[in-house]
Structure 1
Amino acid sequence: MDRTDQLCRSVDLAVAAVRDAPVERYADPSPCPDFTVGRLVNHLAFGLLLAERSATREPWDETWSVDDDAPFLRGLRAEQWARACARQGERTASAWTDPAVWDGDSHLGGAAMPAAAIGSLMTAEFVLHAWDLAAATGGRLEVPAGLADAVLAGVAGIAPMGRDGGWFGPEVPVPADAPAFERALGLSGRNPSWRAPVSA
């Protein structure tokens, strides 16, 4: 599994997690303290759009704010979000299939970065948030070994910056011999044992 395959597989997992998140659970909490399930779906939607723009080098629209709904979700009912995310996921994955896209510099939301670093970061982002959605809605996420290794490497590369920027919480201790994806979860500040609260 090369880096293109890894990113495309991460997009597939994210889109599947959005599809499997029931709309009636959108107000529920998620492992990300700042996001309900619905806001997490929106965050993933924005990430899919950002990743496509990074691949195509199309500029970030200065009128966009990640605090708002993703542009392609605006005006849609929540029941339509999953299908819209699936369409955007296809565009995002397709944009990263050209090997040349990984070369040189690009941008992520306006911030200049090496394209390969963006691809690695977004691969980790999509899988981590797919797990967040699955955990929040009682589902399971199966991450292939090669992809899990890539996610761990991606998280390890940005963990200090992620904590400084508030994207990651404090590291959650995980056994050194735990599977790679569990170690990635812990390194990103997630508890691999997190479960959605049970309603009274």
Structure 2
Amino acid sequence: MEDMMPLMTRATERTAELVRAVRQEQLGLSTPCAKFDVKDLLSHLEWVAALFESLARNGPRVEQGPYAGDFPERAKATLAAWSRPGVWEGTSPAMGLPMTTLGHMYLVDMVVHGWDLARATDQEYEPDPETVSRALHFTDRMVEMGRQRGAFGPPVTVSDDAPSFDRLLGVIGRDPAWTA
């Protein structure tokens, strides 16, 4: 899955830029992800980074801790873990899913939660078209499992000719027109 690392890297770095730009007074703002305010979303991103780093190292499923303010550092460690030889092979002992599936799950989290954060904090966000295409293709195949596991909400209707990113958001339950 050599082609995934550039996509994961771009999505992660873009989300880290957004995180760095969040101001203290924005932590209580609502986000398009109904269960999270900005601080909760940042904490979730930290957990996602820690979880997927652990999974890339064949480690356990880690629990989410309190907000620490260190997503960019955790994200670097996650990318380093996924860059190791052989990491994309086999199945995760902790999750029971193919490593390729987990890599795609991480990618979707970075892209969508980057948008969530950008919308909530009034930042510009334009995800990479190749990354969006890959995330949409994966999500179309995995959406029902995602809903069963509580990762995705009910679909939001968007037109068939909507941009790919809007379709991705709609598939996983986000309203592309959401505003604070």
Output the CA distance in 1 between the equivalents of 2:21 and 2:39: 12
Which 5+ residue runs of structure 1 have no aligned equivalent? 74-80
Which secondary structure state, in structure 2, belongs to the residue aligned with residue 60 of structure 1?
coil
Output the CA distance in 1 between the equivalents of 2:72 and 2:58: 21
Contact 1:151 1:181 in 2 (8 A): no
Q: TM-score, normalised by structure 2?
A: 0.92
Output the CA distance in 1 between the equivalents of 2:147 and 2:76: 31
Q: Where has structure 1 moved over 3 Å in runs of 4 or more?
A: none
Root mean square deviation of aligned Cα? 1.6
Q: TM-score, normalised by structure 1?
A: 0.83
- How many pairs were matched up? 179
Do structure 1's residue 23 and structure 2's residue 24 form an aligned pair? yes
Equivalent residue for 1:122? 106
Give the letter for the 1:53 counterpart.
Answer: S
Output the CA distance in 2 between the equivalents of 1:97 and 1:177: 35
Contact 1:55 1:95 in 2 (8 A): yes
Output the CA distance in 2 between the equivalents of 1:20 and 1:181: 23
Contact 1:52 1:92 in 2 (8 A): yes
Do structure 1's residue 104 and structure 2's residue 101 form an aligned pair? no
Do structure 1's residue 143 and structure 2's residue 150 form an aligned pair? no
Output the CA distance in 1 between the equivalents of 2:136 and 2:114: 15
Equivalent residue for 2:156? 172
Do structure 1's residue 7 and structure 2's residue 12 form an aligned pair? no
Of residues 78, 103, 114 in structure 2, which corresponds to 1:92? 78
Matches within 5 A, 1:30-49: 30-49=31-50
Output the CA distance in 2 between the equivalents of 1:99 and 1:186: 35
Cα deviation per residue 1:28-71 (whole Å; 9 max; x = unaligned)? 1111111111000000010001111111112335xxx33x416x
Output the CA distance in 1 between the equivalents of 2:139 and 2:12: 17
Do structure 1's residue 163 and structure 2's residue 116 form an aligned pair? no
Q: CA deviation at 1:99?
A: 4.5
Equivalent residue for 1:76? none
Q: CA deviation at 1:10?
A: 1.8
Q: CA deviation at 1:14?
A: 2.1
Matches within 5 A, 1:71-82: 73=68, 81=69
Q: CA deviation at 1:186?
A: 0.6
Q: CA deviation at 1:135?
A: 0.5
Give % identity. 32
Which 5+ residue runs of structure 2 have no aligned equivalent? none
Matches within 5 A, 1:45-84: 45-61=46-62, 65-66=63-64, 68-69=65-66, 73=68, 81=69, 84=70
Give the letter for the 1:27 counterpart.
Answer: G
Cα deviation per residue 1:90-139 (whole Å; 9 max; x = unaligned)? 111111123411111125xx322110100011101111001000001111
Output the CA distance in 2 between the equivalents of 1:180 and 1:173: 13
Q: CA deviation at 1:158?
A: 2.1
Output the CA distance in 1 between the equivalents of 2:42 and 2:33: 12
Of residues 108, 113, 127 in structure 1, which corresponds to 2:97? 113
Give the letter for the 2:125 counterpart.
Answer: L
Q: CA deviation at 1:13?
A: 2.1
